[in-house]
Amino acid sequence: MIDEKIITFLKEHHVLNLATSRDNKPYCANCFYAFQEEPLVFVIASDTKSNHIREALQNPNIAGSIYLETKEIGKIQGLQFVGLLKNPSELEKKLYFKAYPFALAMRPKLWSLHVSYLKFTDKHLGFGGKKEYRFEINDTKM
């Protein structure tokens, strides 16, 4: 079970940075997200023609981050994650459209990011305050 501070942090934010790689060349993109707590999955919308999705379709291993932008060291919070890009389940699609009902009219292509590793940094936990989690992804197929 993920710490409630992490769930609260995820609820307070709505944009993640998604990193992909193809032919040993990295790329990143910012995406609005909705999330499922158990198992931890981020759901994003992005066109199949976008560079990051084209790359992730060739190499579904992804990474990403979500963070609080601040210059105050004592307020630093953020997380990094690693996982797999997959097609979303019906439940995951519903989560996204519940978070972004206006997106229904745009009929976007949705994707799910299944998290296998997460590191949460929170300076409220003290200097070097970090929590790490590893998760098993049941089905590695798209």
Q: Is residue 4 a contact partner of residue 38, using CB atoms and an 8 Å limit?
A: no
Compute the distance between CA of residue 33 and CA of residue 137 in angstroms, rounded to an integer: 19
> What are the pLDDT digits (tens) for 85-108?
999 999 999 999 999 999 999 999
Compute the distance between CA of residue 64 and CA of residue 112 in angstroms, rounded to an integer: 13
> What are the pLDDT digits (tens) for 17-42?
999 999 999 999 999 999 999 999 99
Segment (H or E) for 130: strand 130-134
Compute the distance between CA of residue 49 and CA of residue 44 in angstroms, rounded to an integer: 15
What domains sit in the chain, N to C, each tagged with a CATH number?
4-134 (2.30.110.10)
Quote the pTM value: 0.91
* pLDDT of res. 141: 66
Which residue bears the tokens 């307070």? Answer: 12
CA distances from 34 to 72, 92, 111, 112, 118 (A): 27, 8, 11, 9, 16
* pLDDT tier, 115 (very low <50, low <70, confident <90, very high otherwise): very high
